[in-house]
Amino acid sequence: MKYLMILLFIPLIMFSQERYVKGYIYIEDEFIPIPTVEIMDTNNKLITETDTNGYFTFKLNDSNKTFFTQYPGLQKEEVNVIEESDLVYIFMITYPIIDFVSLKKAQRIIRKDRRKLLKKIYPEAIKRGVIPKGILFNKQKLD
């Protein structure tokens, strides 16, 4: 009977391990850590804030592996945590100045510019030693 009880609790112990996400948040191409960035869940509930070095850590909710970063004057970033990594490097981008276009067109321009900029930022950050080699960017390894 004692062995049966142990066998029943082994799967619970194995699958109940807590997972923490930690990371750093920098401002786009200046590579300066940003303090007091708000990290929110999908319900806009505050999870945590970054410290003076741009560092954060929090317990990941198993049901929702997406969080947002928010800071005045910078674009809100959506982050999807993948199974391969618990360490996240986020580069927040300033809003571009867009004159006299519709809201829909402005959002399209912002998304397009953001993708171009991020493709340049991550390799430059690796070159400057801000982030280590071998990290994943859009599920592709950067060296």
**Looking at residue 29, which CATH number applies to its domain?**
2.60.40.1120
pLDDT range class, residue 99, cuts 50, 70, 90: confident
Kindly state whether residue 89 falls inside one of the protein's structural domains.
yes
Predicted TM-score (pTM) above 0.85: no
Q: Is 29 helix (H, G, I), strand (E, B) or coil?
A: helix
31: containing domain: 19-141
The answer to whether 84 touches 140, Cβ cutoff 8 Å, is no
Kindly state whether residue 129 falls inside one of the protein's structural domains.
yes
Distance CA 106, CA 113 (A): 11
In this predicted structure, the answer to whether residue 36 has a pLDDT above a threshold of 90 is yes
Kindly state whether residue 103 falls inside one of the protein's structural domains.
yes
Kindly state whether residue 3 falls inside one of the protein's structural domains.
no
Q: Which of 47, 85, 86, 82 is nearest to 68 (CA)?
A: 47
Q: How many domains does the chain have?
A: 1
